[in-house]
Amino acid sequence: MADYKGILLGMGNPLLDISAVVDQDFLTKYDIKANNAILSEDKHLPMYDEMSSKYKVEYIAGGATQNSIRVAQWMLQIPGATSYMGSIGKDKYGEEMIKNSKSAGVNVHYYEDETAPTGTCAVCVVGGERSLIANLSAANCYKVEHLKRPENWALVEKAKYIYIAGFFLTVSPDSIQLVAEHAVKTNKVFTMNLSAPFICEFFKDVQEKALPYVDYVFGNETEARTFSKVHGWETDNVEEIAIKISRLPKASGTHKRITVITQGADPVVVAQDGKVTTYPVILLPKEKLVDTNGAGDAFVGGFLSRLVLEKPIAECVRAGCYASNVIIQRSGCTYPEKPDFN
């Protein structure tokens, strides 16, 4: 049996999801678009209290990368196969996060910030579609110094696969660069996500600096189209965009870049070697949809769980589709005790 301990490492923004089914008026009031993900501004500050007073609110451990790592761990069912780093506050939300991650079997090395509360993310659900408004707080305090501590860098050394959502580009591009350069030097597989239209638009420079190191680029159709627009490609065709992303310059020739774009209920697009393959997803009757929160994260988690086992791409996609199908039938990024995936 190969040694899978710590084979997959994630770094990102650990956030506590504050999730509620709201209504269109609420979205309009706070200028929230369906199916989007943004960082909170001053106008959103009263929203968190209003949500908990007006609607039935659930608190669920979240944060895009952390979701993917937890799902990969669940899919793998190999103790300690995954680890994760990010920054939380010293408060009850932070304690909740530690408890949740440990019970998920992820080896977490959180940086505990003394000054800021644990980050939260408002998850506003209307008609099963989610919109995310993140208040990063402590998650925004992650420092490259924490990463360089021997006990944390050891996780980087141990990992063979690394995943970082694009959201972390707003927090610690230095940490991303350090890990990316290490991955190239040691022939490890480095993976990232486009994560949100605002990352592609407003964090284009740091995203472009990281991309040469990325072996697998994940994203959804909206993010892919935004990426295309920002780069002046003048195409909305997701398959074309996926190929173009896979052909962007690469820091190392060891691994060819593969682009994986999900499109909700439409087929998953995979581009490699200038060719596109599409894979249908498992269709779900509308009445079984609870919410799409964590669907993309779960897809990545499922995909990575088979990638680290060196399975073919078709199998990785199948695992991703299975995981996201499970997650959209539940509230937030949660799952039953054991996967039923063969």
CA distance 301 to 326: 12
- Give the whole-angstrom CA distance, residue 182 versus residue 336: 35
Q: How far apart, in whole angstroms, are the C-alpha atoms of residue 293 and residue 265?
A: 14
Whether the Cβ atoms of residue 270 and residue 282 lie closer than 8 Å to each other: no
Active-site option among 17, 291, 297, 340: 297
Phi/psi at 311 (5° precision): -80, 160
DSSP string, 49-69: HHHHHHS--EEEEE-HHHHHH
Nearest CA to 248 out of 260, 258, 261, 238 is that of 258
Distance CA 218, CA 299 (A): 10
What tokens does 129 get? Answer: 């579609």
Active site residue 297: yes
- Active-site positions read 297
